[in-house]
Structure 1
Amino acid sequence: MRLVVATCQVDYAGRLSAHLPMATRVLMIKADGSVLVHSDGGSYKPLNWMSPPCTLREGLTEDGRTEWVVTSKTDDTLRITIEEIHHESAHDLGVDPGLQKDGVEKHLQELLADHPATLSDGLTLVRREFPTAIGPVDLMCRDAEGLSVAVEIKRRGDIDGVEQLTRYLELLNRDPLLTGKGTVRGIFAAQEIKPQARVLAEDRGIACAVVDYDALRGLDDPTERLF
């Protein structure tokens, strides 16, 4: 990532036009090719930006000032005229592991582990974080007929979550200890499941369960705990 603090003017031309007069701002050029212009306010949102794929050309204006011209694949143009650079640095941030959500999702898993029958009648817990070679399954359960059921839990269920559970099921169904009584089936549980994810899950024989977090919290009575 390249960070530049500069006194600059920014002009955008595309489906609409926008102008930022000369002022000191932070210019951010990320490894994915995006270019963002930030002020010292407005929270996280940039004043203007260009999303990848785009190209950045650095040159000089007729009066000798530095000029960056950022062009998108649709020929929109972000022109940054720099009067003075106050600071410039570059940093290799490496590969980001992505956001690992905790809190609600973790508590949701705990609540469903305590009350698996809310997902399907007769469902009982075998183990939380059931280990596999490609990662742990959130809940491994057993249904009323004694068949193994793998449960993947998300706050918001999308296609990636269905794909993840599909990979788990493919692996689990190779284990004779789990398939002795029949095929391991899956339940995709989330507070909200996107329509495309539901279609994909049902096409693959995976059941979907929309979970009411607040209702589950009502089942978790703190007065009944020892600790």
Structure 2
Amino acid sequence: MRLVIAQCTVDYVGRLTAHLPSARRLLLVKADGSVSIHADDRAYKPLNWMSPPCWTTENTEGPTPVWVVENKAGEQLRITLEDVEHDSVHELGVDPGLVKDGVEAHLQVLLAEHVELLGVGYTLVRREYMTAIGPVDLLCRDEQGRSVAVEVKRRGEIDGVEQLTRYLDLLNRDSLIAPVSGIFAAQQIKPQARTLATDRGIRCVTLDYDQMRGLDSDEYRLF
């Protein structure tokens, strides 16, 4: 991971345009190529970002260095570095991923055993299907044999949708299983997370954990 603290301006050019005026900010460049710009507030949420797959070109020929981050759709994040205060690179290694609590882990096991509850004709390919950025909870096939990635949460929030989105970006580059759609499954799904998932073409499924624990094989229901 590369960490840069700099006085900078940021312009996003694509389907929409956005401008961040000059200010001191933290720039994160991750091993997957993603770039995000952070202020000293807003918790984890960046001011702007470019998700992978994307590529960064550093133009140092002019008086002020400019980073141009471009994705496959031709959208650009243009970062003008007016003054660089800190620039360092750190090797973080492979992250083991989030350790699920007991309920969340059990939900995953139950859903894997009764994956047909996601839809008629659904079958399980594998639990904990590994990607370069961590394991997808369930990789399934629908009634037409198409690949489906399922992220299982106890509480469905925006973070979970973003996590599944990153998995889908990677999985859809694998010609052996693409195209891959997504299902976000949780006991509770916050309205904001549901809206974001729907906007990204991800289907939401609400799980009744108590009912799933107590029912026999063909009596499970998802609401």
Q: TM-score, length-normalised on structure 2?
A: 0.52
User: What SS does structure 2 have at the residue aligned with 1:162?
Assistant: strand
In the alignment, residue 73 of structure 2 is paired with which amino acid?
A: T
The answer to whether structure 1 residue 42 and structure 2 residue 42 are counterparts is yes
User: What SS does structure 1 have at the residue aligned with 2:26?
Assistant: strand
In the alignment, residue 72 of structure 2 is paired with which amino acid?
A: K
How far is 1:9 from its partner? 0.3
- In 1, the alpha carbon distance for the partners of 2:45 and 2:105 equals 29
Match in the other structure for 1:10? 10
- In 1, the alpha carbon distance for the partners of 2:32 and 2:144 equals 30
Match in the other structure for 2:124? 162
- Mapped contact 2:125–2:141 kept (Cα < 8 A): no
User: What SS does structure 2 have at the residue aligned with 1:104?
Assistant: helix
The answer to whether structure 1 residue 77 and structure 2 residue 76 are counterparts is yes
In the alignment, residue 99 of structure 1 is paired with which amino acid?
A: L
- Mapped contact 1:3–1:88 kept (Cα < 8 A): yes
Task: Kindly report the root-mean-square deviation, in angstroms, between the aligned alpha carbons of the 2 structures.
Answer: 3.8
Q: Return closer, same or farther for 1:106/1:68 CA change in 2, 3 Å cut-off.
A: closer
User: What SS does structure 2 have at the residue aligned with 1:10?
Assistant: strand
- Mapped contact 1:60–1:66 kept (Cα < 8 A): yes
Match in the other structure for 1:187? none
What percent identity do the matched residue pairs reach?
A: 52
Match in the other structure for 1:96? 95
The answer to whether structure 1 residue 65 and structure 2 residue 27 are counterparts is no
- In 2, the alpha carbon distance for the partners of 1:106 and 1:52 equals 28
In the alignment, structure 1 segments of 5+ residues that lack a partner are 110-137, 140-150, 168-192, 202-209, 219-227
Q: Return closer, same or farther for 1:75/1:106 CA change in 2, 3 Å cut-off.
A: closer
User: What SS does structure 1 have at the residue aligned with 2:125?
Assistant: helix
Q: Return closer, same or farther for 1:104/1:58 CA change in 2, 3 Å cut-off.
A: same
How far is 1:26 from its partner? 0.7
How far is 1:57 from its partner? 1.0
- The within-5 A match list for 1:90-129 is 90-106=89-105
The answer to whether structure 1 residue 213 and structure 2 residue 209 are counterparts is yes
In the alignment, residue 208 of structure 2 is paired with which amino acid?
A: D
How far is 1:199 from its partner? 4.0
- In 1, the alpha carbon distance for the partners of 2:87 and 2:58 equals 15
- In 2, the alpha carbon distance for the partners of 1:107 and 1:2 equals 37
Q: Deviation string for 1:21-54 (max 9, x for gaps)?
A: 0011110111001111111111211111111222
- In 2, the alpha carbon distance for the partners of 1:200 and 1:21 equals 49
User: What SS does structure 1 have at the residue aligned with 2:56?
Assistant: strand
Q: Return closer, same or farther for 1:49/1:211 CA change in 2, 3 Å cut-off.
A: closer
Q: TM-score, length-normalised on structure 1?
A: 0.51
Match in the other structure for 1:24? 24
User: What SS does structure 2 have at the residue aligned with 1:41?
Assistant: coil
User: Matched residue pairs, number?
Assistant: 142
Match in the other structure for 1:55? 55
